[in-house]
Structure 1
Amino acid sequence: MKSSSIRGPGMAAILADRRARTVFSFALVGRLTYGLLPLALIFTVQRNTQSFAAAGAASAALGAATLILPYQARLIDRFGPRRVLLPVGSLFVGLLVILALASDGLGFYVFGLAGLTGACAPALGPASRHFWREWAANNEALKRSAYTLDTIGEETIFLIGPMLAGGWLAVAAPRGLLLLCALTAGLGVLGMAWQADDGGHAETRTGRQATRSIMGILREPALWPLLGVVATLAIAFGLTSLALIGRADALGGPGWAGALEAALAIGSMLGGLLWHRRARRGTALFELSGLAVLIAGGLALSAVATGFAWLASTLLLTGLAITPSFVIAYAEADVRASHRHATEAGSWINALHNLGFAGGSALGGLMIQGFSPAAAFILGSAVALITAVAALTLGRIESLARPAPGTGSE
């Protein structure tokens, strides 16, 4: 778990490789689906049911079902991306087409269909990181650079996706947007499956034993400190998401929320680029502790920001820590899990982040309703600060428990 001080190779060098460039491109096309889908589903269901409550419930069913993602990632570890992505992706595309063309006649069954669609969402992120691990072989610096590039690309997609969805919905029907989601998902899955190498994923006795338990990689105690830090940081991010929506309303309307979200996302992308150029120091938990302090400071400043420019600046500062925290978490999950379970371990980072973010969002709504957006920012800052202390403490405990160099049992 000890970090290297070697700087990673340039991202341009990674993209100079034809196969890496192809996988990265198709992964972005496929992930665009997840940037478009939330608004597409909400407005399709709302238009058919005339109820935003029903639309919200369908969206919640879609999101909750994605918690099955780590089990799909376990199959990728066991059989390889191609044998998993093609059947799962085909189901996903088919269900999106059904939602687009037949949702007006489904009534309350649309909630079940939305949940099933979420359960069949192809694990493009875990599959992409699986590719980078295999492609980088044993070059840890190269793998971290690839993870940084991948995370920056994902942040960009989740910035652009809702903007494209909003533009589409302004001029066309939402069901057409669902069909576009089916197209981008299909292209992403086919492209990644085409480039995947499933060699070396033949089922073994060890692999069969590893997948018998529903807990899977969660049986590894070394993974829990990392997952706990990721989940609590996600609570702070969820609080931030609701706080900036509340502050946008106070600035003059919900339209300001997109600009504030953009400031956060731009900060995240800049943070990834800066982190990539920085030599790593210390262990993952120590680094996450430092990033949590940056988040706490940014959110505390956001709580007292009075105008748009000041608030956007503080959110950009907060965003600087987002991409680095994901890169560190994904790389550390690889270290703490055995190689044959690395994809599943990384997908639990996503799952715990989503769970923490949902909890933070719910808490943020209560804070805004009962107090103010500033109170949500302050609570987010407090959660991030508590996370920093916890990560520092856990890192210290692990350092003390680790045998000193040159010592060991006879």
Structure 2
Amino acid sequence: MSDAASLADYRSALTTPGATGPVIAALFGRLPIAMVGISLLLYTQSQTGSFATAGLVSGAALIGVAMGSVAQGRIVDRFGPTRPLFVFSTVFAALAVLEVAAIELRAPVPTLVGCALALGLSQPQVGSASRALWHRLLPPGPARTAAYSYEAISMEVFFILGPGLAGLFVTAPWPGTGLVIGVATQFLGSVAFAMTRTVRAWGSRETAPAHSGGLLGAFARPAVRTVALTALGFGLVIGFIEVAVPASATAAGHPGVGGLLLSLWSVSSVLFGVLYGMRPWPRPLYLRLPVLLGGFALLSALLAIPTSLIGLAMVMVLVGTLITPQSTAHSLAIEAAAPPGAAAEAFGWVITSVTLGLAIGQSISGALVESAGPPVAFLCASAAGVVIALIVWLLRHTVSGRPPERQGTTVVTATPRPGQAAGAGAPDADPSASAPQSV
């Protein structure tokens, strides 16, 4: 199927029967996704006075999300989303209360980190369930591609609102306001998503046997691992920047501006993402993964140049143009790579990788901004992203289905592996067009 999507395809996807309820509920379930993380970071920093501690706490929450998303995905693939989302949403809300109490009581750093880890583990994964649901609602074609693009673009809208709201609420009389509002909204949205008729029907019919790949599950597939590595690099770069930008604003004497600055790159991401989806480049998906990540990493180095917040804001807009194209590429690639019956788990590996990258980036960046300053953190983000993009380039054959070229050997065709269509190894083939739709 083609991976270019027109505006008519977006309309067709969003108006398909059974989609309205889950789409609206998922908006509320994922709206606070950036707000919760940034609010936790800013709230902890305001109470402890340390970006290093705040980075550890926020990073621990993200590690929890990374660990919990795959487990939740497997449970959703097995039982459907309704019961798991009810359980995890309830536990998530209770642990949020515990985290707030620990921060207010000035608990030791290990306690704050432990509570944050548990909070992340229980965060309801509406995103992976929502993306996997499109396979049940739409046949392969431009409309399904538009649906995945919508998922990526809507996430960027949340990243526009989330950091800005977090920056606003941290200046309220009580700096934990943003965290509480974000958790409450996510709880209500997740429960509403689980209660929609379309989602409840998921658990009552199985269209494919559950995939068995041992402990690794879907991650046993080389293509899934390559997409996950790409997502890790994507999250790593963002994690560095999400700490360095608020630190730059704080150093300039305007701490409340940090969240607004982070919102700016999401604005350009949404606008450019729609245009990019109509004519994506590079056309082959296996090339798009390393090229987009490498370009994003190189642009991130420019953030070290500005000496004013206005200059930083302008560069943030430029860097943000390559965020949504990467998110969409991840969704398309993981759909082609996912084993039958493991859609939610496969998407969970992408979430795991992004959040693990965010956690590592935030943790390292928190120490760097205090010891060497934000510009060094920006440069480290760029270097880390470029290195991972080069590794993905070397592994691109796992996504394309083409074996690595050997000197003196002419590869005429690639033997299809299980779950891969014949012809996927043709030069310049796009796996999103040739791989069977098995998710």
Q: Structure 1 length normalisation: TM-score?
A: 0.82
What residue is the counterpart of 1:183 in the other structure?
184
- CA-to-aligned-CA distance 1:11-64 (integer Å, 9 cap, x gap): 3443344642332221121123434434655677789x8786877665454333
Aligned-residue offset at 1:188: 0.9
- Distance, in Å, in 2 between the alignment partners of 1:306 and 1:107 is 36
Is the deviation greater in 97-106 or in 372-381?
A: 97-106
Give yes or no for contact 2:233–2:385 (8 Å, CA) kept in 1.
yes
2:79 alignment counterpart: 79
Alignment correspondent of 1:4: 2
Structure 1: gaps spanning 5 or more residues: none
1:316 and 2:317 matched: yes
Q: 1:216-269, CA deviations, whole angstroms, 9 ceiling, x for partnerless residues?
A: 222222322222222123322233334434443454443442343122221221
Root mean square deviation, CA, Å? 3.7
1:108-147 alignment to 2 at 5 Å?
A: 112-136=114-138, 138-147=139-148
Deviation track 1:144-163 (CA, whole Å, cap 9, x = no partner) reads 21122122222222331243
Alpha carbons of structure 1 residues 25 and 142: separation in structure 2 relative to 1, 3 Å: same
Residue 23 of structure 1: aligned partner: 22
SS in 1 for 2:395: helix
In structure 2, the partner of 1:378 is 379
- Which amino acid is 1:275 matched to? Y
> What is the CA–CA distance in structure 2 between the aligned matches of 1:390 and 1:368, rounded to whole Å?
27
**Aligned equivalents of 1:375 and 1:45: distance in 2?**
23
From the superposition, tell whether residues 36 and 233 of structure 1 become closer, same or farther in structure 2 (CA, over 3 Å). Answer: closer
SS in 2 for 1:321: helix
Map 1:50-129 to 2 at 5 A: 59-66=58-65, 67-96=67-96, 112-129=114-131
Query: Within 2, Cα distance between the matches of 1:304 and 1:167?
Result: 26
319-328 vs 288-297, which moves further: 288-297
C-alpha contact 2:249 2:258 (8 A) present in aligned 1: yes
Q: Which amino acid aligns with 2:218?
A: I
Match of 2:233 in 1: 232
Structure number with the higher helix fraction is 1
Against the structure 1 CA distance between its residues 216 and 90, is the aligned structure 2 distance closer, same or farther, given a 3 Å change threshold? same
Q: CA deviation at 1:201?
A: 6.0
* Alpha-carbon distance in 1 for matches of 2:370, 2:44: 26
CA distance in 2, matches of 1:39, 1:51: 15
Contact 1:155/1:268, CA 8 A, preserved across alignment? yes
Does 234-243 or 173-182 show the bigger shift? Answer: 173-182
Identity of aligned residues (%): 26
SS of equivalent to 1:339: coil
Q: Which structure 2 segments of 5+ residues have no match?
A: 405-410, 418-439
Structure 1 residues 303 and 329: CA distance shift in structure 2, 3 A: same
Once the 2 structures are TM-superposed, how far is the Cα of residue 343 of structure 1 from its aligned partner?
A: 1.3
Determine the C-alpha separation between the residues in 1 that align with 2:77 and 2:106. Answer: 36
Paired residues for 1:201-212 under 5 Å: 207=210, 210=212
Q: Judging changes above 3 Å, is the alpha-carbon distance between structure 1 residues 62 and 366 closer, same or farther for their aligned structure 2 residues?
A: closer
Distance 1:318 1:222, change over 3 A: same
The correspondence of residues 146-225 of structure 1 with structure 2, limited to 5 A, is 146-173=147-174, 179-195=180-196, 196-199=199-202, 207=210, 210=212, 213-225=214-226
Is the CA contact 2:39–2:179 (under 8 Å) kept in the aligned structure 1? yes
> For residues 66-85 of structure 1, what are the alpha-carbon distances to aligned partners after superposition, in whole Å with 9 as ceiling and x for unaligned?
22211101111111111321
1:86-111 Cα shifts (integer Å, max 9, x gaps): 22223323444566689868966776
Alignment partner, residue 303 of structure 1: 304
Q: Rate the CA distance shift 1:51–1:201 in 2: closer, same or farther, 3 A.
A: farther
2:264–2:313 contact (8 Å) kept in structure 1: yes
* Corresponding residue number in structure 1 for 2:420: none
CA contact (8 A) 2:160 2:264 kept: no
Larger CA deviation: 59-68 vs 82-91: 59-68
- Tell me, in whole angstroms, the C-alpha distance in 1 between the residues paired with 2:378 and 2:179: 34
> In the alignment, is the contact (CA less than 8 A) between 2:73 and 2:345 conserved in 1?
yes
One-letter amino acid of the structure 1 residue matched with residue 36 of structure 2: L
Residues 170 and 177 in structure 2, CA contact (< 8 A), matched pair in contact too: no
Residues 35/283 of structure 1: CA separation in 2 closer, same or farther (3 Å cut): same
Shift of 1:123: 0.8
* Counterpart Cα distance in 1 of 2:227 and 2:324: 16
Letter in 2 for 1:29: F
| Paired AA for residue 331 in structure 1 | L
User: Does the aligned pair in 2 maintain the 1:303–1:374 contact within 8 Å?
Assistant: yes
Residues in 1 aligned to 2:239 and 2:222: alpha-carbon distance in whole angstroms: 26
Tell me how far 1:360 sits from its aligned partner: 2.5
Aligned to 1:32: 31
1:351 equivalent to 2:352? Answer: yes
User: How far did 1:336 drift?
Assistant: 0.8
CA distance in 2, matches of 1:159, 1:5: 25
